[in-house]
Structure 1
Amino acid sequence: MHEFTPWPKTARLFRDIVVTEKLDGTNSAIHITKGAAVLCPSSVFEAYPLKLGEVFVDGYIWFITAQSRKRIITPGKTTDNYGFAGWVHDNAADLVRILGEGLHFGEWWGRGIQRGYGLEGKRFSLFNTTRWDAVDEDSGTSMKSRAEQSDIIDQIDVVPTLYVGPFSESVVWQIVDDLRTYGSVAAPGFENAEGVCIFHTASGRVFKVTSDHRDGNPQRLASGPLNDVRRDAGKWEAA
């Protein structure tokens, strides 16, 4: 016998969206899990040294793992991805304090990766803009404020938010047009911005629109809900 499979709930299109700049680097993530408390670290770690992916922070062992879009990565010439795992390993304690427990997705971008953006080094920009600014009730701090107090403030941040409000295709195209005209917000002075990502709050999905003319007519649109719905239907891509 077959089991009943319901049709998933249909989200309403005209709900709030969050538009951020799409960065042309490499999709990455940091997975952090809190482990056991250690009361006498000197004696414990003398007998049981910390392994790769383990770090002792504020009285606890933490497990920290780096990943690319498709696999777990570790420091090493053939096992890393543009040096991201090495950076995570070298800055594990700071990353635990800044990000806390969880799976943190973002873009590893900058020198030597795709567009490069004219940067001298690389940086990790988180995708979750809300979580970056959210204040933790226990500590009274946010990821942003903790990053500002760390030694890696110039290496970790969040993707720029370009719009928050009701879904409107004309607004999205206006933002893409502005990126074409004025260049990247994440890297001021760099003209060749890639495009935008759109987080649709009601569906929980992320879509992308690139500025390379593959997503339809790049000209600005006349505002209006009918035009927004009909124009270039079907050309939204899931990121």
Structure 2
Amino acid sequence: MSDYPKFRSIPRLHRPVVVSEKVDGTNGLIEIVSADDYFQEPIPANRSGYAVNVGEDVYFVFAGSRNRWLSPEEDNFGFCAWVWDNAVELASTLGPGKHYGEWFGQGIQSGYGLDEKRFALFNTDRWFDPRNPGDIGRYLEHFPKAQRVPFIVTVVPVIAVGSGRDLNSTVEYALNTLESEGSVIAPGFMKPEGVVVWHAAARTYFKATIDNDEQPKSVAERMQRAKQDAANLKSLVNSIKDEITV
């Protein structure tokens, strides 16, 4: 095999794009490894996993965040604890492989007004959730091989499907839809974050937010905290004024 550093092929822009709701939570990974694969390439000893029996098969289930493996002692908003508590169902329904998604809900980022936490898978080619409004028809048309997502998890809702030729207008449509109608993944929540765009040919993701899209994430987060601090201060001042008036 040649070791020449060949420049990679450039994907065509005018290929399908899938625009889904950007879920405001924390990144999560569920990796499910069969016992045969586990013992062929042993997992490092410092990586915590949970062994489960599914019928006659044995699987090892691991939980991770964006950049580290998790354990119940070093968790991320309870994600590892949830994965291990539900390891049998996850292993039997998701199957072996790496399953990336977003862990969201109560106490995480915006929280969506939920009183529980949920896990939304990213892979819209493979999964659809009939509980997401409008998803059934959209998936039947564009994702004929997609399977119904296991009940214990969900999948990021698809807002629009288009071509790279109409990329900007497709993204604007999705953003306007979310801004006017609210979140799809948490109906009734009127402050959705934005969208994620999957470009099929490039095999990569892009994102666009409803607010402060032109700002780096760190700057946007500081601006949001400053706005919240200002609102809290205003509320405190009003409370003091009310007490003085009384």
TM-score using structure 2 length: 0.71
- The residue correspondences of 1:89-100 to structure 2 (distance < 5 A) are 89-100=84-95
> Conserved in 2, the CA contact under 8 Å of 1:98 and 1:143?
no
Question: Is 1:72–2:72 an aligned residue pair?
Answer: no
Structure 2: stretches of 5+ with no match in the other structure: 37-47, 129-144, 216-246
SS of aligned partner of 1:105: strand
Q: Does 1:185 pair with 2:184?
A: yes
In the TM superposition, 1:137-148 aligns within 5 A as 144=148, 147-148=150-151
Give the Cα–Cα distance (whole angstroms) in 2 for the partners of residues 125 and 102 of structure 1: 16
- What is the CA deviation profile of residues 128-174 of structure 1, one whole-angstrom value per residue up to 9, with x for unaligned ones? 012114xxxxxxx97526x24xxx3xxx1100011122122112112
Q: Which has more helix, going by share of residues?
A: 2
Counterpart of 1:221 in structure 2 is: none
Secondary structure of the structure 1 residue equivalent to 2:125: helix
Decide whether the 8 Å contact of 1:144 with 1:157 is kept in 2.
Answer: no
Alignment of 1:31-180 (within 5 A): 31-36=31-36, 52-76=49-73, 79-133=74-128, 144=148, 147-148=150-151, 152=152, 156-167=153-164, 168=166, 169-180=168-179
In 2, the alpha carbon distance for the partners of 1:185 and 1:142 equals 19
Distance in 1 (alpha carbons) for counterparts of 2:57 and 2:214: 48
1:130 partner SS = coil
Q: Name the counterpart of 1:231.
A: none
- Mapped to 1, the partners of 2:171 and 2:91 lie a distance apart of 35
Mind listing any 5+ residue stretches in structure 1 that lack a counterpart?
A: 37-50, 134-140, 217-239
Q: Return the alpha-carbon distance in structure 2 between the equivalents of residues 71 and 61 of structure 1.
A: 24
Aligned-pair CA distance for 1:213:
3.1
Q: Which amino acid counterpart does residue 7 of structure 1 have in structure 2?
A: F
1:13 is aligned to 13
Q: Measure how far apart 1:196 and its partner are.
A: 0.4
SS in 2 for 1:9: coil
Partner residue, 1:43: none
Is residue 21–residue 158 contact of structure 2 (8 Å, CA) maintained in 1?
yes
Identity %: 43
Per the alignment, residue 199 of structure 2 pairs with 200
Q: Does the aligned pair in 2 maintain the 1:99–1:143 contact within 8 Å?
A: no
> SS at the partner of 1:129?
coil
Corresponding residue for residue 138 of structure 1: none
**TM-score relative to the length of structure 1:** 0.73
Would you say the 8 A contact 2:113–2:189 is kept in 1?
Answer: yes
| Cα distance in 2 between the residues matched to 1:60 and 1:170 | 48
Report the Cα distance in structure 2 between the residues aligned to 1:176 and 1:54, rounded to whole angstroms. Answer: 42
Q: 1:197, CA displacement in angstroms?
A: 0.4
Judge conservation of contact 1:57–1:93 (CA < 8 Å) in 2: yes
Matches of 1:111 and 1:5, distance apart in 2? 48
CA distance in 1, matches of 2:174, 2:50: 40
Partners of 1:98 and 1:190 in 2: CA distance: 29
RMSD in angstroms over aligned alpha carbons?
2.1
Q: Is the 8 A contact 2:125 2:146 kept in 1?
A: no
Partner Cα distance (1:87, 1:214) in 2: 32
The question of whether the paired residues in 2 share the 8 Å contact of 1:80 and 1:86 is answered with: yes
